[in-house]
Amino acid sequence: MIEANNPQLKSWIEVHPKSDFPIQNIPFGVIKTAQNGALPATRIGDYAIDLKLLESEGFFNDILDQMVFQGTNLNTFLGCGKNKWSAVRQRISELFRAENALIPDNESLRKFVLHPITEVEMLLPVQIGDYTDFYSSREHATNVGKMFRDPDNALLPNWLHIPVGYHGRSSSIVVSGTDIHRPKGQLMPADAEQPVFGSSRLMDFELEMAFIVGKGNKLGEPIPVEKAEDHIFGMVIFNDLSARDIQKWEYVPLGPFLGKSFGSVISPWIVTLEALEPFRTESPDQEPEVLPYLKGNKQSTFDLKLSVDLQPENSSATQICQSNFKYLYWSMAQQLAHHTVNGCNMQSGDMCASGTISGPKEHEFGSMLELSWKGTKPLKLADGSERKFINDGDSIIMRAWNEHNGIRIGFGESKTKILKSR
């Protein structure tokens, strides 16, 4: 057992039993306080913990050979590699255990190192250099193929052989709590002969998770599938907002562009793969057999419960989706191995999203496109209203978590409101 994951551990910080952030989690993020700018931080319960201050006080001197938490993002720390990430997480665990009185007995340190989560602003945790969006859910790809192509041949010929992906726009990835305006672009109405310009009428979400690259690789040096997880620091919830009508007109022959690049929303805390170890499970069987560079050892993934709530303005929320990360056909290790097999160099802070995560049952579909089946089956919300796609004023709230041995590990939430077009 990883010592910091021990379910018997308790913190001297009070933690609600249903909190996503017990001492066994120790996620990493960046906060902004009233007194300071951006600060690298971790979280236990309802308190953010200032890692810049802990580093300045010398708590990581025997672990790190450089100062990594003095900047405004986590990129330098991510470049330190897996052993350093684990050692820092272990040290934080030791400092905040119930039996360790070092910080509680130091009134001044305790006062300045802890920040109530309600009094901080969450920022993007990393500077995202590049962003790739994969298309790794067989159920989602099959649903889309049935809707828009041949239902008997829903998957394209390459889908079962490679983790399909495209290079997205990193600058429009924002942190939870950021509202997004409905985009404008070219649309091709069903009864039209020429495209028109206007606001998207088919706004959608995509329920995804994304992994953050830790230590990168040199140009020309692929990352083997067996070593891929050593280069993955952790994960966030990823809401890949999509304008389906703009996307439908533009995606041939080169793929998504304006229909995807107007905004994607992540949860602010990066949960490490180490913290997720209790939820490791086998990936789905792959048939036909994949090529050797994607094979390695038996692929594994994580059993993470996912949900989406839709909340109209001035009304209560309705849960409209429940899915699971374990449904993904292509694992994160396979995604990263494929991404780099041509020699592509990944860098610390790069982000790779999973693609929409849909399950086999209708309530597990990870987008409005599927839940309403292209608008033919409107969803009934708690306030009595119906939705085929997302209305202005609607908020989308995504969550990810699971429990093991009585310990809940979660990601918090990714939340955004859709505003009317500018």
Active site residues: 140
- Strands 351-353, 207-213: pairing is antiparallel
- Among 125, 139, 147, 2, CA closest to 75: 125
What gap in Å lies between CA 241 and CA 294, rounded to an integer?
A: 29
Q: Which residues pair with 243 in a beta bridge?
A: 203
Which tokens is 161 given?
A: 């052989």
* Cβ-Cβ contacts under 8 Å for 63 (sequence gap 6 or more): 84, 87, 88, 91
Question: Three-state DSSP class for 73?
Answer: coil
Nearest to 334 by CA among 296, 385, 363, 369: 296
- Which position has the token pair 């979280």? 43
Contact predicate 53/70, CB 8 Å:
no
- Contacts (Cβ under 8 Å, ≥6 apart) of 155: 138, 141, 142, 145
Which amino acid belongs to residue 261?
Answer: S
Q: What is the CA radius of gyration of the chain?
A: 22
- Using alpha carbons, list the distances in angstroms from residue 146 to 68, 158, 209: 49, 16, 24
Provide the edge-to-edge strand list for the sheet that holds 29-32: 114-116, 47-50, 38-44, 29-32, 121-123
Give the separation between CA 390 and CA 76, rounded to whole angstroms.
38
CA 368 – CA 242 distance, rounded (Å): 10
Q: Token digits for 98?
A: 């119930």
